[in-house]
Every structure is written in structure tokens, then in C-alpha cells.
Amino acid sequence: EYMGSTAMRSPYSKHVRLLWSYVSLCFFGCVVVYLMMFDSLQLTETNEIARMATFNQTHNDYRGVQTLSNMSDSATVPHTKQDIPPRSMVNSSVSSDLPLYHAEPERLVVVSVKSVADAYWVPQISLPHILYLDSAEVTGPQSTSFFLHIQPQTKTEIHAFLRFIIDYYHNLPRNVGFINAQTDTWRHTIPKYQFIKDLKWGDHSFFYLDYRNFKKLFATGSQDRVNFELFWEQSGFIHSIGSTPMYINTYLGGEFVVKKQRILLRSKEFYESLLSWFLNQQSISEEVAADILRAVWGVIFGEPASASAYGEGKCHVLVCSRP
């Protein structure tokens, strides 16, 4: 009876054994696949750590390259008046959204920073960016952006903008946006990071970000004419650009986007001389000198002094699909 009972159950036992074998095979197969994936992830992480270690050591990208002549941090730029103080890197944290140095970006945002706290919004632009810190502050390893420290400390963004041009003169990106970090909104209507992303990058050789405040400045007989003529002569513009204009038509604000070719209209020595004059001159106040430079960026980059207002207004500067 026992043997007969076993014989009757045997077909079902066979199916159970086959099912058990199938389940076991699937289980062990999943384990093997998981282990292979884990090893792959570990290898990828190891390679990434090694790459970042090499990257941090060489600073070989737009976040950390020192100068295009590979100068050390202790080096200075030769100058006609007085050596420009060196800038140094104040942190070596890496932000993965920035391109490697050898991959020339189409767009790069240069941000003048007076306080690290002012730059909290900058990573949100999701574009390659570099921050020049014109402050005694030291950034910590938690920083998500790369800062270059410049001395001496000044009250305006002019030092940072000129310093970038000098540092990167021989390897500029195709389009550069020069931005002030102090305000995180553009005219308090749109987040500044969104405004920057909506700019018409590459559509114009040069344009100011402020499309609203167009002014005629430094006209003969005006109160600011004397300082303008003094600036034009002492800064060397009268020799490198030409005779003093009768006036300057310009937008206010001093933030702008410019193509590489326009920056290269002037020699590196021109920008070095201008920065040296700005840091060392005592004829006019720093604020007045900065106001004049904000007004003549366009002239420096090849725009006529008698430039016209943007006919498209806002749509000259921004992609107008956004309301």
C-alpha cells in the first residue's frame, strides 16, 4: 500500500521538484545579476573618484584653471604701471555641471561676488559659471561652485570682470555673460537665474541685460563730462580707442553678454592697463570710475558711442516665448 501510494504521488512530486528547480535558478540568477551590477557601480564610482582627484589636482577646467599661461597663484601679471595683485583659488570643490576645460563651452557666466551668501542662486542657472570673489571671505568645502579670490577688495564688479578677461584671454568661451551676484532677481519680477537662461545667447555680438534704461551720458556741458574726459585720457582710451566721444548712448546696469571675437578686439595689454589704472588711480572715486566703465563696455567691445536703443526692446535681450 505504501509503495502504491508513493507511485501515485510521484508525478506531482516531479512537478514540484521542477518548479523548485526553476525558482532556485531564477533566485540565483538574480543574485548573480545584482552582484555584477554592484561591482559595475563600484568600478564606476572608483573611476569617478580617480578622475575627480586628478581634476582637483590640476584644476584643468573653467572652474579652476589658473591662467591661460599656466601661471602659479603667486605669479603676477606684468603691467605698465603697477603689478596687478594675484588672485588665488579659495576652494577646490567640484561642481559636476561644469564642462572640462578642454571642452570649450558655448556659454559661460562670469559672476562678481562680494559675499558668498549672495551667490546662493548661481548654481540654479544650470550653465557653466565661474565666480570671482572680491572679499576676504573663505568658502568651505560645502560650496557647490568654484570661486577665485581676487585682491585688493573693491566696491564694484569691475575688478572681477577685467580679471576674468585677463586670466582667460587666450582661451575664451564663445559667449560670456558678465553678471553681478548681489541681486538674485532681475528688476524683482523674475528670478535672475531664469533671466540668464532666457537670454538670447549667441544672437548678438554684444548686448546689455538692461533693456529698459537707455540713456545719453557725458554730453558736452553736462556735470559728469569733466570726470569722463579725465577718465578717457588717464585710462589710455584716447590712444587705444580714439578721441573722446561727444557723448555715450548706453543702457545702465553694467551687466552684459559679449562674444569672444569682440573681447579680442582689444589686446590683453589693453585690459591689463585698464585694470591697473582702475585699481591705482586716485583722480576720481572708484564709484565714479565704475559708473563710467559700465557705460563704455559697449565701446570697448566695438559698439559705436552713438548706439541706438534696442528696437525689439525686451525681445532683443530675451527669448520672448516666455511671457
Helix (H) or strand (E) holding 129: strand 129-133
Q: Pick the range with the lowest mean pLDDT from 47-51, 96-100, 204-208, 315-319.
A: 96-100
145: its cell numbers:
561652485
Does residue 61 surpass a pLDDT of 70?
no
Q: Pick the range with the lowest mean pLDDT from 57-61, 179-183, 246-250, 271-275.
A: 57-61
Q: In one letter, which amino acid is 26?
A: C
Q: Most confidently modeled of 14-18, 26-30, 301-305?
A: 301-305
Secondary structure of residue 113 in the 3-state scheme: strand
Tell me, what's the pLDDT at 48? Answer: 35
SS (H, E, C) 246-263: CCEEEECCCCEEEEHHHH
Tell me, what's the pLDDT at 60? Answer: 31
pLDDT, one tens digit per residue, over 263-279 is: 999 999 999 999 999 99
Tell me, what's the pLDDT at 55? Answer: 29
- The burial class, CB within 10 Å (0-12 / 13-18 / 19+), for 191 is middle
pLDDT, one tens digit per residue, over 216-230 is: 999 989 989 999 999
Tell me, what's the pLDDT at 29? Answer: 74
Indicate the average pLDDT of the chain: 75
Does residue 180 surpass a pLDDT of 70?
yes
Higher pLDDT, 118 or 101: 118
Does residue 10 surpass a pLDDT of 70?
no
Tell me, what's the pLDDT at 188? Answer: 56
Average pLDDT over residues 150-168: 90
Tell me, what's the pLDDT at 185? Answer: 57
Secondary structure of residue 174 in the 3-state scheme: coil
Does residue 99 surpass a pLDDT of 50?
no
Does residue 70 surpass a pLDDT of 50?
no
- The burial class, CB within 10 Å (0-12 / 13-18 / 19+), for 254 is buried
pLDDT band at 139 (very low <50, low <70, confident <90, very high): low
Alpha carbons 270 and 262: distance in angstroms, whole number: 13
